[in-house]
Structure 1
Amino acid sequence: MGNKVAGVIFDLWNTLVPLSDQIKQQAFIETSATLDLEPQKLINPWSETRSRRETGDLYQYLSWMRDELASGWTEETILNAMNVRRDIHGSAFESPDFEAVYVLDRLKKNNIRIAVVSNCSSDVRNMISSSVIEPFIDVIALSAEVGIMKPDPKIYQYAASKLGLGCEQCIYVGDGLDHELEGAEKAGLKAFLLDRGDGIQWSGDSLSRLSDVLKEVGID
């Protein structure tokens, strides 16, 4: 695509920041414990209401879940659970993709606009804000704040517009979960699978490592 690319929109988890199953499991177990619930009693309502959790405020979601489960969680209990979850998930930012800072820096120095689009809960904003990747990012579009989840084309269009660009001027890079690549192309972006060897099927173009993004935007 050469020099026509003016912006790169990245997925967050397992694209810029690896999030292992171990960290996710630990966060869920310890959050459940803080809420004084056995994990097996929370897992079904938690998974079944993902879209609600990831398109709004996390505190409001947990307050709603308290009513749904007829639980006696206090405000302090909910805030403590949020802190536990944030600290564990936030630890993933201590080890971003080993090429992430290099790639983001090169893009920034070559005046390529950078956005992150993520399906996530609202606490991720603070995780990004205190991370080493935050200074390089021009636009952060979180589903919890925008109220739209990938693969809805509107969230990609939102990110591109906030960059001051059209979707046709941007490429999208992600690990392929949530049908995000299909959604990006429906929005008008060229999408690339960052192939982590997870067996994600994608008929379009793939990148074997994050630094391959640079050649796609015309940076040697």
Structure 2
Amino acid sequence: MQCSVIVFDVFGTLLTIEKRRSPYKRLLHALAKQGRRPQANDVSMVMSHCKSFAELAKFWGYEISIDLVKSLEADLAEELDSICLYDDTRETLLKLKSQGFKLALCSNLAMPYGNAVFNQLPSFDAYAMSYAVGATKPDPKIYQHLLNELHCDAKEMLFIGDTPKADVVGPTAFGMCARLIERKKGQTLRQAMSGCVDI
């Protein structure tokens, strides 16, 4: 079946954060200092629930100071302000659209990053954001959300992302085609899609 839908991961694929402050990691470190043991699903929890820093701490049974909340919020704001497109993102998306492809986003990210993503990438046919779906890649639920939104078959989808497990192994197991993009090695979207899509 020929590819008719291109699904993109967001950060490390279409967008980058130039000033990383990692506020959620800071929150987890602060809770660890209070005696909380890190859990394997901590990152998934952050990215699949719509909770503030204070609400997350409370969910895990801890309280954090107002000063820490303000500091975390400042770090978050700085990260959000530094989000920008990779040089080839806009041109590539316009070319794909002109060729009739449907475009979708599928990303693991905490809720505050959602608006920044929508502002930068407003014209997609479907969105599967982990905090909205309530599941993170590679959980099949997040990929199924896209199928439900687009009313298509998994075999019609090509997934492009920078994380092997979430963006290649997960989509492939679900029945999609998938390609890894390695931005740190200078790879472009066109190069990542080579052999699957000609643009």
Normalised by the length of structure 1, the TM-score is: 0.73
How has the CA–CA distance of structure 1 residues 81 and 109 changed in structure 2, closer, same or farther, with 3 Å as cutoff?
Answer: farther
Q: Is 1:117 matched with 2:106?
A: yes
How has the CA–CA distance of structure 1 residues 154 and 39 changed in structure 2, closer, same or farther, with 3 Å as cutoff?
Answer: closer
- For 2:47, which of 30, 50, 54 is the aligned residue? 54
Give 4+ residue runs of structure 1 displaced > 4 Å after superposition.
Answer: 29-32, 37-40, 42-48, 80-83
Identify unmatched segments of 5+ residues in structure 1: 199-206
Q: Work out whether residues 31 and 81 of structure 1, in 8 Å CA contact, stay in contact via their aligned partners in 2.
A: no
Letter in 2 for 1:10: F
Identify unmatched segments of 5+ residues in structure 2: none
Letter in 1 for 2:99: N
Normalised by the length of structure 2, the TM-score is: 0.80
Letter in 1 for 2:97: K
Q: Work out whether residues 8 and 173 of structure 1, in 8 Å CA contact, stay in contact via their aligned partners in 2.
A: yes
Match of 1:156 in 2: 143
Q: Work out whether residues 168 and 178 of structure 2, in 8 Å CA contact, stay in contact via their aligned partners in 1.
A: yes
Q: Work out whether residues 11 and 17 of structure 2, in 8 Å CA contact, stay in contact via their aligned partners in 1.
A: yes
Letter in 2 for 1:210: L
Q: Please give the alpha-carbon distance, in whole angstroms, between the structure 2 residues aligned to 1:172 and 1:120.
A: 17
Between the aligned residues of both structures, percent identity stands at 20
Match of 1:184 in 2: 171
Q: Work out whether residues 28 and 39 of structure 1, in 8 Å CA contact, stay in contact via their aligned partners in 2.
A: no
Measured on the aligned residues, the alpha-carbon RMSD in Å equals 3.3
How has the CA–CA distance of structure 1 residues 48 and 158 changed in structure 2, closer, same or farther, with 3 Å as cutoff?
Answer: closer
Superimposed CA distance per residue, residues 125-173 of structure 1 (whole angstroms, 9 cap, x where no aligned partner):
1111222x223x2212111110111112221221133123211101000
Q: Please give the alpha-carbon distance, in whole angstroms, between the structure 1 residues aligned to 2:187 and 2:59.
A: 45
- For 2:63, which of 68, 71, 76 is the aligned residue? 71
How far 1:106 sits from its partner (Å)? 0.9
- For 1:211, which of 176, 190, 198 is the aligned residue? 190
Q: Work out whether residues 46 and 56 of structure 2, in 8 Å CA contact, stay in contact via their aligned partners in 1.
A: no
Q: Please give the alpha-carbon distance, in whole angstroms, between the structure 1 residues aligned to 2:131 and 2:16.
A: 20
Letter in 2 for 1:97: Y
Letter in 2 for 1:150: K
Q: Please give the alpha-carbon distance, in whole angstroms, between the structure 2 residues aligned to 1:52 and 1:29.
A: 11
Q: Please give the alpha-carbon distance, in whole angstroms, between the structure 2 residues aligned to 1:155 and 1:41.
A: 33
Letter in 1 for 2:48: T
Task: Give aligned pairs, total.
Answer: 196
Superimposed CA distance per residue, residues 96-140 of structure 1 (whole angstroms, 9 cap, x where no aligned partner):
111000111111122211111111111121111222x223x2212
Letter in 1 for 2:197: V
